[in-house]
Chain A
Amino acid sequence: MASNPIITRLKQPALLLLVAILAFFAVDRAVGAVLREGLDRYFGLDQPEAVLLVGHSHVVLGVDKTLLERELGQPVANYARAGAQLDDRILMARHYARLHPHGVRAIVFGVDNHLFTAKGLSANSYSQFYPHMGDPLVGSMLRESAPEWDYRQRQISHLARYDDVLLNAAIRGWMGNWNNAVGGQFKPEVLAAEVASGDFRRISIDDAQVAHMEAFLDESEQKGWPVFLAFIPTTAQWQAVEPETAAQVEALLRRLADAHANVTFIDLREPWQHREEFFIDPLHLNAEGSREVTADLSRKIAPLIPGAQDSTQ
């Protein structure tokens, strides 16, 4: 029987298309799995029984995970992401707890003056969670937050779930590199000019955010997780921009800590906020500053974590 010439003609292109599709999905899934493993290592999601750090860029740059592990004698999972808002931080804590239901030794929850300010931080902070969209908790958050088509694209391609920040974190996870490598030096005159022009993010206390925090702390109390509300230092000049509202936020944080037996407010601002040489900008610590603050954090929380070594003794 003679073969159909059209089918004969299409055979090779169809095979090539198949090769291209298979190659795409093979590389996408294989590289995606490698990156995901690296990212989990970077965030410490592969680490059960850990002291969990959640927060945003202040914690990413301000706490030296390796040093804290050494000081506490405990594994530390630094699950902090630049731009993570209050709800993101709560989700991260729940995500870790879901992965390790009996493995939350303590939660160091990064707080700052803008903790209850819903507006002004990154509007698409959800995108930092795409690599973990397979997790039910993270997945349902993304379904609500992400545009439909963005979500679907990332279901198809695992590589599309990464941006440079996540890619860098994944590579660092494989390399075991948690160093604060960001350079720069705080320039008070730049901050002064921004404040004078009104070009800065204002503090507000949004009731819904407060309610979310209260609900999370209630949950942590129920589950028996020790929680430390750790105020990572920013510069004194930054603290002085809106002193009244900053004081209100601090009072609220202290009230929340007092209302929950498992919660402790750890204020790390003094004396570090006056050491300008420790900051790369008004908000973020450099490597040297993060080592000092980490040692201070360790001294303050070690006595409160069961099984941790107290480096002060």
Chain B
Amino acid sequence: MLFNSWEYIVFLVVVTVAFFAMPMRWRVPFLLVASYYFYMQWDWKFAFLIGSVTWANWEAGRRIAETDRPRARKAWLWMALVVSLGVLFFFKYFNFFNESFRAAFEAGGMTYMVPYLPIILPVGVSFFTFQALSYPIDVYRGDHGPERSLTRFATYVVFFPQLIAGPIERASTLLDQFKEKHRFDIDRFGSGVQLIIWGLFKKVVIADRLGIYVDEIYAAPELYDGSTLLLATYFFAFQIYCDFSAYSDIAIGSARILGFNLSKNFALPYLATSIADFWRRWHISLTSWFRSYVYYPLGGNRVSTLVWMRNIWIVFVVSGVWHGAAWTFVVWGALHAAYYVVQWVWNKLVPTPTNPSWWAVLLGMLITFHAVVLAWVFFRAESIGDAWLVVTTILTDTGAMPDLGPSRFTAAINIALIVFLMGIQVLQSRGWISLYFSPSRFPPAMRAAGAAMLVCGIALLGVSSSAFIYFQF
């Protein structure tokens, strides 16, 4: 059941009406059932998997809280880590490592006996395992108390708006909300619906349109010149942003209607003026997860410069691998780590002024954007070889007009939509248009009319629905 489908809209309406109509004590169990129903629309068998991960983490949290013995606490934490990361490793990375070992063995003239396993990747596995795992870690650290109710904890793990592709929540941000009494609030409903409409617009009008061109070009990059590959890569930068942020927007909007607050996941990332700034704005919930559970335990920045750099590399490479079991994602993460370190060195050499001029800000945005775009090549390409071909062709074979595909009219619409998106984002950054429920300078009637215009845009320019890119992660 895709967010960009009528089935989801009907599902959300039914769940919302039923949720607020039923007595308080039934609401959390109802959300649990509804969330499992939502998840089982993809593959009912994986409900057992998510159930197992849920139970293991809940049990670990409970046991950790029950005992003062450090060894026992650590043992239960390890159990949660092994179960959660074991599930993630088996379903997502087994074949990647298996085939990498096979290639290495065969290159050395040796026989490799472990067969390829036809494993189906459970949708959202990277998201729900991380969300579940944060709980026993928080209990172990004393950052959160144990949750006595398995029903409540299970609902926290499978809460349908953010189950498949985040935002990745933590016990402190979401679990406790299931203890609160939620009442229907018409203002929250209105703002939630507006965010859902904006998310749908980004998905079916911008991301899916750009995706048609990007898929065509990246399917056979050797057939195209540098300017075409560059255009496809620019388009991909906006495609992936619109696709992923659209999912987050619809998730946050859906949860808001039901009375829940999910974390902000994107904050105008292409207006970032540096790589560090970009990572404060892009996939915020994952960045925050890695900071809390990987970067700080490694020592963060309270270590020597060399160790700090090592920590940065580890976090970014692990973040790359989290996205997918392929060397392209490793390079993507490594590139961002390199950017981060280069930026640190630059800041040491050229201190950033307190009030930079407008052109310095714009230059920072352009450099950051293009660095991010270069990394997206590796994120999107089918292989390292393809990515390298794209990069070298862009750098060496430019000058010709790009191949705009079968319709110049469609290409013109695509470019106009990107300009429209960036225009909206500039207005959001200046506080004219609401960003995640912040105040807007436009009166409510104008905002309502604006939402109606977006629906008109979806009707006129929307293309047939396809799955969200981040579902594969």
Does A24 lie within 8 Å of B407, measured CB to CB?
Answer: no
**Contact string, A153-168, partner B, CB cutoff 8 A, digits 1/0?**
0000101101011011
Query: Which residues B444-472 have CB closer than 8 A to chain A?
Result: 444-445, 447-449, 451-453, 455-456, 459-460
Name A's interface SS: helix
A28→B458 CA distance, assembly (Å):
11
Contact of A12 among B407, B409, B410, B444 (CB under 8 A): B444
Contact of B460 among A10, A17, A160 (CB under 8 A): A160
A-B pairs with beta carbons under 8 A, tally: 57
**Contact string, A161-199, partner B, CB cutoff 8 A, digits 1/0?**
010110110010000000001000000000000000000
Q: Which residues of B contact A23 (CB under 8 A)?
A: 448-449, 452-453
Contact of B6 among A9, A19, A149, A159 (CB under 8 A): A149
Does A13 lie within 8 Å of B186, measured CB to CB?
Answer: yes
Name B's interface SS: helix
Does B449 lie within 8 Å of A28, measured CB to CB?
Answer: no
Whether a CB of chain A sits under 8 angstroms from the CB of B363 is: no
Whether a CB of chain A sits under 8 angstroms from the CB of B423 is: no
Q: Which residues of A contact B448 (CB under 8 A)?
A: 16-17, 19-20, 23
B187, B190, B409, B460: residue with the most chain A Cβ atoms closer than 10 Å: B460
Whether a CB of chain B sits under 8 angstroms from the CB of A31 is: yes
Q: Which residues of A contact B410 (CB under 8 A)?
A: 164
Given A13-B186, A160-B459, A160-B460, the answer on whether A20 and B407 have CB atoms closer than 8 Å is no
A24→B453 CA distance, assembly (Å):
6
Query: How many residues does chain A have at the interface if contact means C-beta atoms less than 8 Å apart?
Result: 26
Residue of A nearest to B410 (CB): A164
A171→B447 CA distance, assembly (Å):
28
Query: Which residues B228-266 have CB closer than 8 A to chain A?
Result: none
Whether a CB of chain A sits under 8 angstroms from the CB of B45 is: no
Chain B: minimal CB distance from A313 (Å): 40
Q: Which residues of B contact A28 (CB under 8 A)?
A: 456, 459
A160→B462 CA distance, assembly (Å):
8
Does B186 lie within 8 Å of A24, measured CB to CB?
Answer: no
Contact of B452 among A12, A21, A164 (CB under 8 A): A21
Chain B: minimal CB distance from A159 (Å): 4
A159→B189 CA distance, assembly (Å):
26
Q: Which residues of A contact B460 (CB under 8 A)?
A: 31, 159-160, 162, 167
Whether a CB of chain B sits under 8 angstroms from the CB of A27 is: yes
A171→B413 CA distance, assembly (Å):
13
Whether a CB of chain A sits under 8 angstroms from the CB of B408 is: yes
Does A27 lie within 8 Å of B444, measured CB to CB?
Answer: no
A10, A157, A159, A181: residue with the most chain B Cβ atoms closer than 10 Å: A159
A24→B451 CA distance, assembly (Å):
9
A164→B417 CA distance, assembly (Å):
14
25 pairs, CB–CB < 8 Å, chain A vs chain B: A10-B186, A12-B444, A13-B187, A13-B190, A16-B190, A16-B444, A16-B447, A17-B448, A19-B445, A20-B449, A20-B452, A21-B452, A23-B448, A23-B453, A24-B452, A27-B453, A27-B456, A28-B456, A31-B456, A159-B456, A159-B459, A164-B413, A165-B407, A168-B407, A181-B408
B interface residues with partner A (beta carbon < 8 Å): 6, 186-187, 189-190, 407-410, 413, 444-445, 447-449, 451-453, 455-456, 459-460
